[in-house]
A and B are shown apart, each in its own frame.
Chain A
Amino acid sequence: MKTILEIENLAVHFPINIGTVRAVEDVSLTLKQGEVMGLVGESGCGKSTLGFSILRLLRPPGRIVKGKMLYHGRDIVQMSEREILSLRGRKIAMIFQDPLTSLNPLFRIDQQFMETLFTHEKRLSKTAAFRRAETMLESLGISPERLLEYPHQLSGGMRQRIMIGMGLILNPDLLIADEPTTSLDVIVEAQFLDLLNELRKKFNLTIILITHNLGNVAQLADRITVMYGGTLVEVGQANAIFDNPLHPYTRGLLSSIPNIKLDQPKLVTMPGSPPDLVNPPPGCVFHPRCPRAMEVCRVERPGVYKCDGRLVSCWLYG
């Protein structure tokens, strides 16, 4: 399959008054056309920062200090502001966690769709733009009359569907979904995941699904990238990672989540809490919490090693 995005040794830092937050350190990742990549980790692990840097939407003082991001062979890091503008929305779309803050409360839904369309297709007529918004709403399972309403008149699930519709209206080939279901209730969440699965086939999308919810990832992702403390921990096929997690962090994460379908009498707990990224621990960032930490883990950072068809960043496999 064709490679759509190739991230090489990306590092993103936020210099602040007390030091530098190393939000993303040396992350490399390849994305194939048509796949759903689940980007998993806890809050502060750098998963959202990675998502934002792909569109160069980092908030200052955050900046990309190192690395390359090749989108269809062109380096996003080196692009001019003009070039990146033509990419955003048109080729790469992003949807955010909270649809209420991402939609403008003062404009009707159709106006917000048209703004997106007119920004990128200047010659489009108003009627044609409206038509396209209507067709989009139909494929989202929302009645097209709702186009004339304001965001507050829609339910949470509908707003999130509108968001994804706006993302897809320009036919992008890459969709970055940053915790799209976190603000939704369980049933609506299940509906949304079903929709995402449907749209993915219909629009031939490549999706980066950023989430902390392993349940969501299990239902949707083909491959999974696990991040911890700004670094890459493990990358591999979803089935393989769920069946046999290699990295101690992945293993801990998977056994600490309650599974409603299993009889686990006790949850496995991971001691400690995620690291401080201004002063990350020396060596492997996970070593203070790792049950299998060795001498070398405290001193030197592990590289990324190939093992069992996967990439693992751990000395156990080095």
Chain B
Amino acid sequence: MEELLTVTNLKKYFPLQKGFIDNLFAKKKEFVRAVDNVSFDIKKGEVMGLVGESGCGKTTTGRLTLRLLEPTAGDVMYNQRSIFSYSKKEMQGMREKMQIVFQDPYASLSPRMAIGKAIGHPLVIHSNKNERETKERCLQIMEKVGLSPASFLYKKYPHQLSGGQRQRVVIARALITNPDFVVADEPIAMADVSVRAMLLELMVQLKEEFDLTYLFITHGLATAKYICDRVAIMYLGKIVEIGPLKEVFKNPAHPYTKTLLAAVPVPDPKYRRTHPIPKGEIPSAINPPPGCRFHPRCISAKSTCNVHEPDLVEVGEDHFVACFL
């Protein structure tokens, strides 16, 4: 299948904000290495999962693929063309085809805009449809995402809706321009447990119907399992393992992936964990550990791990791991 999006050696370093005096005497600038040399591709019609703990750089990566942030280095090719080569105006045109669903449906909807207006807003920006056509299209998409009766909900404000409905509004707004590529940044993390399954099913169904390609960002491995075709596991700004979902879950090769899989709480009282959980927490991305970034917490770390940085090597079909083991 054809690649829709290719990410190569992408880096994003955020300069550390310091006080004036500190800046005067500082020897060199310090950076938070949020994303450090990340490469992957997404094929047309695929759901690529980006999984990791908070602070691993998954959201930053997601934003870079839509050029919501400018990278420090590296490139993102969309349909074989670098998205960073577009002018500001051209990029705005591109946004019609590249959309995002944010995590928090409370923060991403204006409390003063009726939801019908909010959903139709991208059309006002991207097309020259008149008001009646916009409303028609809006009602149509609202029914599609399960906001029915659409004509009744059209005039409602976000505070009059439930959390699940609000997230449907955000999804509808992202889909109204008929995009090809959608970045879903933890779209169900804020929803109630009983609503999550429904939103997940909705996203799968919409993907089929609209022929979408997703970059699905999540910290929940169990969630990723339901929707993703392939997953990339991130740790401290790096991809440590990438491959087909089934393969990665069945034969995890990186110690970090194994740990993550073991740590997921299993809703079964008879289940007992067999893989040990390492001590300690994710270190700071300002001065990441030398060598392999996971080595201080790794149970099978060797002497080379704190000196050299492992590259991604193929361990199975389309399955790559950055580990010396």
Q: Which residues of A contact B (CB under 8 A)?
A: 42-43, 141, 155-158, 185-191, 193-194, 212-219, 221, 238-239, 242, 252-254, 256-261, 266-271, 273-274
Among B57-65, B82-90, B171-179, B256-264, the one that faces the other chain is B256-264
| Min distance, Cβ A14 to any Cβ of chain B, angstroms | 18
B197 and A212 within 8 A (CB)? no
Do residues B197 and A270 form an inter-chain contact, with CB atoms below 8 A? yes
Contact: A268 with B54, CB < 8 Å?
no
Whether B164 lies near A273 (C-beta < 8 A) is yes
A260's partner among B165, B201, B264, B279 (CB-CB below 8 A) is B264
Of B165, B222, B226, the contact of A273 (CB 8 Å cutoff):
B165
- Say whether B112 faces chain A, with CB atoms less than 8 Å apart: no
| Residue pair B196, A256 in contact (C-beta under 8 Å) | yes
With a cutoff of 8 Å between Cβ atoms, the chain B residues found around residue A253 in the complex are 193-194
- In the docked arrangement, what's the CA distance between A157 and B193, Å? 24
Interface residues in B207-222 (C-beta closer than 8 Å to A):
219-222
- Enumerate 9 A-B pairs (CB-CB under 8 Å) in ascending A order: A156-B281, A186-B53, A187-B263, A190-B265, A218-B269, A221-B269, A239-B269, A270-B195, A273-B192
Q: Find chain B residues with CB under 8 A from A256 CB.
A: 193-194, 196-198
What is the CA–CA distance of A185 and B165 in the complex, to the nearest angstrom?
27
Alpha-carbon distance between A191 and B221 when the two chains are bound, in angstroms: 17
Knowing A188-B281, A257-B193, A273-B163, say if A215 contacts B267 (CB, 8 Å).
yes
**Contact partner, A266, options B53, B201, B219, B281, Cβ 8 Å:** B201
* A258 lies within 8 A of B282 (CB): no
Query: Hey, which chain B residues are within 8 Å of A188, CB to CB?
Result: 281
In contact, B269 and A259 (Cβ under 8 angstroms): no
Q: Which of A190, A214, A217 contacts B273 (CB 8 A)?
A: A190
Q: Contact: B267 with A189, CB < 8 Å?
A: no
CA distance in complex: A194, B196 (Å):
27
Q: Which of B88-103 contact A (CB under 8 A)?
A: none
Contacts of B200 in A (CB 8 A): 258, 267
Collect the chain A residues with CB atoms within 8 Å of residue B249's CB: 260
Check B27 for interface membership: any CB of A closer than 8 A. no
Decide: A270 and B194 in contact? CB cutoff 8 A: yes
A22 → B minimal CB distance (Å)? 18
Does B126 count as interface, using CB distance less than 8 angstroms?
Answer: no
A41 to chain B, nearest CB (A): 9
User: Please, which residue of chain B has its CB at the minimum distance from the CB of A183?
Assistant: B54
**CA–CA, A190 and B280, complex, Å:** 12
Q: Which residues of A contact B278 (CB under 8 A)?
A: 187
Q: In the bound complex, how far is the Cα of B205 from the Cα of A266, in angstroms?
A: 12
* Known contacts A190-B273, A218-B271: A185-B54 contact under CB 8 Å: yes
Would A194 and B226 be within 8 Å (CB), given that A185-B219, A189-B263, A261-B266 are in contact?
no
A211 to chain B, nearest CB (A): 10
**Is there a chain A Cβ closer than 8 Å to B29's Cβ?**
no
Asked whether B266 lies within 8 Å of A42 as measured between CB atoms, the reply is: no
* Min distance, Cβ A177 to any Cβ of chain B, angstroms: 15
Bound: A185/B259 CA distance, A: 12
Q: Are B193 and A238 in contact (CB under 8 A)?
A: no
Closest to A219 in B: B265
B162 within 8 A of A: yes
Q: Which of A190, A217, A242, A267 contacts B201 (CB 8 A)?
A: A267
B306 touches A (CB below 8 Å): no
Q: In the complex where A185-B54, A187-B277, A273-B163 touch, is A193 in contact with B265 (Cβ < 8 A)?
A: yes
Once A258-B223, A273-B162, A273-B165 are accepted as A-B contacts, the answer to whether A42 and B268 lie under 8 Å apart by CB is: no
